[in-house]
A and B are shown apart, each in its own frame.
Chain A
């Protein structure tokens, strides 16, 4: 938490989140004295952890080997750091392990940098990311319906391509090659979800959006697994197939029950299916070419190249700038621009959109249906982000890099969101974006601070008054209006 420019993540056991929930103590151990804790998860971890806690209390561990804090105090410190730096990312160890299709192969010690790859590692094996992402927006027919046949075809090509990559790749180390050839893990994901929603006229913050994520990911997962099974018949199973959950005739959806058993609590996500999974269960039992099939990556760069929205993320804003290695560029939400042009509004509202920092709610001339359809990422409720991720995680055997966007000002405002993410069985979260309170004075927009105070001044002022900095002015004072 003192390294603001490193990309750090926490791999959090259920035991910790439970103790946050019940306001219990948390024991911090020197790993030298508890080496087995990183090699187990779930109930086994909790059993051993509690035993170490008892030992500590009985004085059987050296004083310097442990420390006791309130779980909630530590949680709060984590959240403060998250809000001030975007790090450390919160990822969940027991969900990652209990829902792993390779759980008998080995323990997952951490996720990868972008938090979507969940693979076992050990002294001799370094996991490798083999990733591809489907541009969902390119699978929309002219009539606004999804072209399911084309999508199935894309999945098939992508899975075969990814499987080829495993054999063609040049490996930086023998440990990486070994792990990749033994598990043959691939991670097919998606991008362009927000563009697809926008073109279909579905608001991101709606049950329909979550249902569509559910339907799409079920379909993609189904066909990815099917393709991997067919590849197994063609080219043989991956060397550790017999140790995998696939060999037991299980599919990713079935592992939610495993997580419930490990956690001892229900996972707050539904189990609805639309496709014939029993038929697929019978198939995977016969063979799979790949240890894993799906992971949803952030796609920050490839989505930009493909010209669509990133991953499962909404549009950041309807107009924004993107800072990359090559410079800073202006971007518009292209679906909105098309729609405004169609309605003959584009030229009239273009400047106002910049003044409103891409927030349609601030522009009077924009019709209400567009305001509902094109919020900024910060105007979408955290519940919508979690709902979409939870639906997708049903079908994804690795993990999802779920970015979260908050207008929150206090760590306590986001504490419940991460608890909820955990209860819904998410394996990981990614960047925590906080809407900055203050903006520099705009350059190209008409400004007169005498006539109109910037929004941040009013907000900061409300805050200092609400914080009990009692004001001596009368209530009629316009400062607080």
Chain B
């Protein structure tokens, strides 16, 4: 059997899973299996009623902006996973996870399509937002730049190549899945805090759980890669990773101001941006870098939405806490 390498082994070697070299990666595969869900399990009829009878025009625009960002981004993640990351990650258990993650991203695309199809949103507007709206466009361009850097004249055996790879991992696992998506989650969950859009929020619960898993895998992958290639994290790279995250924060703040030009009940662009900075600090620290903002989380209500155990009155809401794919004995 060929030598197993986390990154940079033979990309055409067929998978031979055991013995495991990176049990954490296989643990993520197993957990992902237990988390399996399908969009149609979340009923949206109450959301439709909320949309027609209770949401203001500003709130509808905010939801459209949310969908207009999530929908194309989920497919961008898939593209990057398959074209930029998968060819270079060669440990079998890690590849298995990436393949699974790609399915989850596709599932998210289908989930947002299900929402877009069900609610009377301006479909054209939602699908064209990433081309038409400068704030969405800027975030997309940011991600595209990272993917493109991996496709042209790229050589992983050099230090510069390894650094570019790490840069891409940070840009996708940490920035997109760990910062950009998180303010979207907060925006959606602010509606449920007021008893609105509960079906959409059930989908958000699932997506958030998936993204937590992707992020956890990403952080593992980054730290393991840095551990195996100590030469990669030079002071210059640390500085440019930090710059990358801070640039993302600026783009996100711009975007949130466009999503919420005026505050809606329970949420303003300022509060949401405070949350983005709080989450960005967390990501910097997880990468072993100094936090940049050192501000408290302004969205304390997220504790009820995400942090504590959830008891569901079964006849009243969909319980998303059951895991599937148990051993049969």
Interface residues of chain A, those whose CB is within 8 Å of chain B, are: 4-5, 7, 76, 80, 83-86, 300-301, 316-317, 319-330, 354-355, 357-358, 376, 409-412, 431, 433-434, 436-450, 454, 456-457, 460-461, 463-465, 469-473, 479-480
A411 touches B328 (CB 8 A): yes
A471 touches B195 (CB 8 A): no
A-facing mask of B282-316, CB < 8 A → 1, else 0? 10011110000000010110111111111111111
A329 touches B304 (CB 8 A): yes
B19 touches A447 (CB 8 A): no
Within the complex, the shortest CB–CB distance from B282 to chain A, in Å, comes to 6
Name 25 interchain pairs, CB-CB below 8 A, sorted by A.
A7-B314, A76-B328, A80-B326, A80-B328, A84-B322, A84-B324, A86-B322, A324-B316, A357-B309, A358-B309, A410-B327, A411-B329, A434-B323, A437-B31, A437-B34, A441-B212, A441-B216, A443-B182, A454-B216, A460-B28, A463-B30, A464-B23, A465-B20, A470-B19, A470-B20
Instruction: Determine the distance from Cα of A445 to Cα of B315 in the docked complex, in whole angstroms.
Output: 31
B313 touches A322 (CB 8 A): yes
Within the complex, the shortest CB–CB distance from A156 to chain B, in Å, comes to 31
B305 touches A471 (CB 8 A): no
B23 touches A450 (CB 8 A): no
Of the candidates A300, A354, A434, A439, which one forms a contact with B322 in the assembled complex, judged by CB atoms under 8 Å apart?
Answer: A434
The residues of A that contact B304 with a CB separation of less than 8 Å are 321, 328-330
Closest B residue to A300 by beta carbon equals B313
B56, CB-defined interface residue at 8 Å: no
Of the candidates A86, A321, A448, which one forms a contact with B308 in the assembled complex, judged by CB atoms under 8 Å apart?
Answer: A321
B205, CB-defined interface residue at 8 Å: yes
Instruction: Determine the distance from Cα of A409 to Cα of B327 in the docked complex, in whole angstroms.
Output: 8
Interface size class on chain B is 35 or more
The residues of B that contact A433 with a CB separation of less than 8 Å are 321
Closest B residue to A301 by beta carbon equals B313
Closest B residue to A351 by beta carbon equals B303
Within the complex, the shortest CB–CB distance from A179 to chain B, in Å, comes to 24
The residues of B that contact A4 with a CB separation of less than 8 Å are 41
Within the complex, the shortest CB–CB distance from A290 to chain B, in Å, comes to 27
The residues of B that contact A471 with a CB separation of less than 8 Å are 19-21, 23
A460-B192 contact given A80-B328, A321-B311, CB 8 Å threshold: no
Instruction: Determine the distance from Cα of A327 to Cα of B197 in the docked complex, in whole angstroms.
Output: 9
Interface residue ranges of B18-52 to A (CB < 8 Å): 18-21, 23-24, 26-28, 30-31, 34-35, 41
A444 touches B192 (CB 8 A): no
A450-B209 contact given A86-B319, A411-B326, CB 8 Å threshold: no
The residues of A that contact B275 with a CB separation of less than 8 Å are 443
Of the candidates B24, B219, B309, which one forms a contact with A320 in the assembled complex, judged by CB atoms under 8 Å apart?
Answer: B309
The residues of B that contact A473 with a CB separation of less than 8 Å are 21, 23
The residues of A that contact B216 with a CB separation of less than 8 Å are 441, 449, 454, 457
Instruction: Determine the distance from Cα of A313 to Cα of B213 in the docked complex, in whole angstroms.
Output: 32
Closest B residue to A114 by beta carbon equals B315
B131, CB-defined interface residue at 8 Å: no
Of the candidates A7, A323, A357, which one forms a contact with B307 in the assembled complex, judged by CB atoms under 8 Å apart?
Answer: A357
B125, CB-defined interface residue at 8 Å: no
Within the complex, the shortest CB–CB distance from A317 to chain B, in Å, comes to 5
Instruction: Determine the distance from Cα of A450 to Cα of B208 in the docked complex, in whole angstroms.
Output: 20
Closest B residue to A462 by beta carbon equals B27
B198, CB-defined interface residue at 8 Å: yes
The residues of B that contact A431 with a CB separation of less than 8 Å are 314
B317, CB-defined interface residue at 8 Å: yes
B305 touches A321 (CB 8 A): yes
Closest B residue to A378 by beta carbon equals B309
A450-B318 contact given A320-B310, A440-B205, A472-B21, CB 8 Å threshold: no
B318 touches A444 (CB 8 A): no
B62, CB-defined interface residue at 8 Å: no
B319 touches A464 (CB 8 A): no
Closest A residue to B312 by beta carbon equals A323
B267, CB-defined interface residue at 8 Å: no
B23 touches A357 (CB 8 A): no
A440-B302 contact given A86-B319, A323-B317, A450-B219, CB 8 Å threshold: no
A457 touches B24 (CB 8 A): yes
The residues of B that contact A376 with a CB separation of less than 8 Å are 309
Instruction: Determine the distance from Cα of A390 to Cα of B192 in the docked complex, in whole angstroms.
Output: 40
Known: A321-B304, A410-B327, A461-B24. 16 other contacts (CB 8 A): A300-B314, A316-B311, A323-B311, A323-B316, A324-B316, A354-B308, A411-B326, A411-B327, A438-B213, A440-B208, A442-B303, A443-B302, A449-B286, A450-B287, A454-B216, A473-B21
